[in-house]
């Protein structure tokens, strides 16, 4: 299963979790619900732009979509290599 990096908006903590592509964590271990943002782990996905408040949700959805597409491509590539 793939490894994901999450960041908590409440406590600022980063941590990694291994789970399936269809799963998504939202609640931090600090007890804050819905505070987790998945951090793209691939270097070319990292962007330093700081979105405005209203833009965050939209960007997050786009990032998540891109992430899923990347995972799919990686899986396909892995199969071709064999
Ligand atoms: Zn937290």
The stretch 23-50 carries a mean pLDDT of: 79
Cα 38 to ligand 1 centroid, rounded to whole Å? 13
Q: For residue 61, give its domain range.
A: 3-81
Does the pLDDT at position 12 exceed 90?
yes
Cα 47 to ligand 1 centroid, rounded to whole Å? 22
The total number of structural domains that make up the chain: 1
The answer to whether the beta carbons of residues 37 and 9 sit under 8 Å apart is: yes
The answer to whether the beta carbons of residues 37 and 31 sit under 8 Å apart is: no
Spatial distance between the Cα atoms of 36 and 14, rounded to a whole number of angstroms:
9
CA distances from 28 to 5, 22, 71 (A): 12, 18, 24
Give the predicted TM-score (pTM) of the model: 0.48
pLDDT band of 47, cuts 50, 70, 90: low
Cα 29 to ligand 1 centroid, rounded to whole Å? 6
pLDDT band of 45, cuts 50, 70, 90: very low
């Amino acid at each position: 299963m793939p490894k994901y990096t999450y960041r908590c908006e409440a406590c600022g903590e980063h941590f990694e979790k291994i789970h399936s592509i269809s799963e998504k964590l939202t609640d931090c271990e600090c007890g804050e619900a819905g505070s987790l943002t998945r951090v793209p782990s691939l270097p070319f996905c990292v962007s330093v732009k700081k979105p405005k408040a209203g833009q965050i949700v939209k960007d997050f959805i786009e990032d998540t979509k891109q992430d899923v597409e990347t995972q799919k491509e990686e899986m396909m590539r892995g199969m071709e290599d064999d």
